[in-house]
Amino acid sequence: RTTTWLQYNITRYGNGERLILVRDVTRLHNLEQMRKDFVANVSHELRTPLTVLVGYLETMIDADDGSHPRWTRPLVQMQQQAQRMQSLLNDLLMLSRLETANVRADEKPVRIDLMLPGIRKDALALSGDRQHQITLECSTQAPLRGLETELRSAISNLVYNAVKYTPEGSSIHVSWSRDETGARLSVTDNGPGITADHLPRLTERFYRIDSSRNSSTGGTGLGLAIVKHVMMRHQGELKITSTPGKGSTFTCLFPAERLIEESED
- Residue 208 interacts with ligand ADP (CB under 6 A): yes or no: yes
Shortest reach from residue 146's CB to ligand ADP, in Å: 20
Using CB under 6 A, which of 212, 241, 253, 259 touches ligand ADP?
A: 212
- Residue 154 interacts with ligand ADP (CB under 6 A): yes or no: no
Do the beta carbons of residue 226 and residue 95 sit within 8 Å? Answer: yes
- Residue 171 interacts with ligand ADP (CB under 6 A): yes or no: no
- Residue 223 interacts with ligand ADP (CB under 6 A): yes or no: yes
- Residue 209 interacts with ligand ADP (CB under 6 A): yes or no: yes
Using CB under 6 A, which of 134, 174, 194, 230 touches ligand ADP?
A: 194
- Residue 221 interacts with ligand ADP (CB under 6 A): yes or no: yes
Q: Among 18-26, 44-52, 184-192, 255-263, which window interacts with ligand ADP (CB under 6 A)?
A: 184-192
Cα atoms in the Cβ-side hemisphere of radius 13 Å centred on 176: 20
Shortest reach from residue 172's CB to ligand ADP, in Å: 8
- Residue 188 interacts with ligand ADP (CB under 6 A): yes or no: no
Using CB under 6 A, which of 116, 224, 231, 238 touches ligand ADP?
A: 224
Using CB under 6 A, which of 89, 191, 231, 238 touches ligand ADP?
A: 191
Using CB under 6 A, which of 95, 123, 156, 189 touches ligand ADP?
A: 189
Shortest reach from residue 235's CB to ligand ADP, in Å: 22
Shortest reach from residue 214's CB to ligand ADP, in Å: 10
Using CB under 6 A, which of 165, 190, 234, 251 touches ligand ADP?
A: 165
Write a three-state SS string for the chain. CCCCCEEEEEEECCCCCEEEEEEECHHHHHHHHHHHHHHHHHHHHHHHHHHHHHHHHHHHHHHCCCCCHHHHHHHHHHHHHHHHHHHHHHHHHHHHHHHHCCCHHHCEEECHHHHHHHHHHHHHHHHHHHCCEEEEEECCCCCEEECHHHHHHHHHHHHHHHHHCCCCCCEEEEEEEEECCEEEEEEEECCCCCCCCCHHHCCCCCCCCHHHHHCCCCCCCCHHHHHHHHHHHCCCEEEEEEECCCEEEEEEEEEHHHECCHHHC
Using CB under 6 A, which of 202, 230, 231, 238 touches ligand ADP?
A: 202
The Cα-based distances of 161 to 35, 96, 128, 168, 232 in angstroms read: 28, 21, 14, 13, 20
Kindly list the residues in this chain that would bind ligand ADP in the complex (CB under 6 A). 157, 161-162, 165, 189, 191-192, 194, 202, 207-209, 212, 219-225, 248
